[in-house]
Structure 1
């Protein structure tokens, strides 16, 4: 039975969904307009699939927000998650051996949402990716976008060299925790030792953010009544 409260909630959901779709469409059209496509068929394929992914992402974000299974705040107008940004990169507990041990002993599965730090000489950003292959025999995992990461223990290194901040790599797999995952979802960025303006996560990253299990980062989100939460 539809009560007045249910009707009011449905109207809010419908409004939020519509605003999210509009913001996502505007963002993705700008991305496609600036893209470098080898032939028009590639662009046509992206445009053809766009309504499906925009609708799916907007629906998932509304459901996650309504179910309150995420510590993030939903910014409907900008189609983004917001959270308070740390003054410095949240790298506590992210020594190489700590990260490797987590992935080697956590019984992780394909599809798990994981954080990756992207670094340049001036900027660092934490982004979301997902595991698409696990090769424990060789001590490595592969993520969908970033590729393979070696998970060998570096027992001969001293503590300074084992710290993530000393890495010269452009990309490094991180161990999921609340601060790191919130930073990734909200597009937090740092320049040197100072925080800078957030970046807008991609449509793919927003969809991945809705599959995070905030109570247990070793698992993906569960599905209730056909809704991702």
Structure 2
């Protein structure tokens, strides 16, 4: 066995390497433009990059996601709808879905911004069962109307989750160039259980 053959099946070597390269390029470009106050902050970010990039690339290669994997750009791709997929997303339907699904910590949830849908995950549950907190967007409770001004919790379905994974964007009810999901969102995309949105996969 040669040294080359040892790595032949390691995470589909060529795709994995290409994907890591694309993710590194993107993250370094983001770091170059970031408003970080100290060299220490930059060092911490750079130090953590190898772990998160390798983990994300591996998860994307192994994912059963029904989307096309673009290793050159480090992203998922699928046909974009003409409008944001918000059909059936009225507030009562959304909360009925979450109440019946009994969400758990780590569940991947979609959140609509003004121009696109992002992926977030539950990191804290209300003790009375009246809501939950997500890692980025904060608390969501049925009676709360404040957060709806800037973003809206959605119930997951295939169209919504696909749009979020691909970074599809819309302005004035017209589709525009997709936004590149963050490294965190790409990792969350690999935890989506496409057979049962009420549960997340372990990655």
Please give the TM-score of this superposition, normalised by the length of structure 1. Answer: 0.81
SS at structure 2 position matched to 1:10: coil
RMSD of Structure 2 on Structure 1 (CA): 2.2
Q: Please state how far the C-alpha of 1:153 moved relative to its aligned partner.
A: 9.4
| Equivalent residue, structure 2, for 1:206 | 186
List alignment gaps of at least 5 residues for structure 2. Answer: none
1:186-223 CA distance string (max 9 Å, x none)? 0000011111110100000000000000000000115x
Among 179, 193, 207, the residue aligned to 2:173:
193
Shift of 1:152: 3.3
TM-fit CA distance, 1:100? 1.1
- Number of matched residues? 198
Misfit runs of 4+, over 3 Å: 6-9
Any gaps of 5 or more consecutive residues in structure 1? 1-5, 155-166, 223-227
1:72 to 67, 84, 87: 67
In the TM superposition, residue 168 of structure 1 has moved relative to its aligned partner by: 6.2
CA distance in 1, matches of 2:17, 2:184: 19
Alignment of 1:111-190 (within 5 A): 111-119=106-114, 124-135=115-126, 137=128, 139-152=130-143, 169-190=149-170
Question: 3-state SS of the aligned residue for 1:47?
Answer: helix
1:68-124: CA deviation from partner (whole Å, max 9, x where unpaired): x221100010000001111111111100011111112211100000100111xxxx1
Q: Which residue of 2 aligns with 1:53?
A: 52
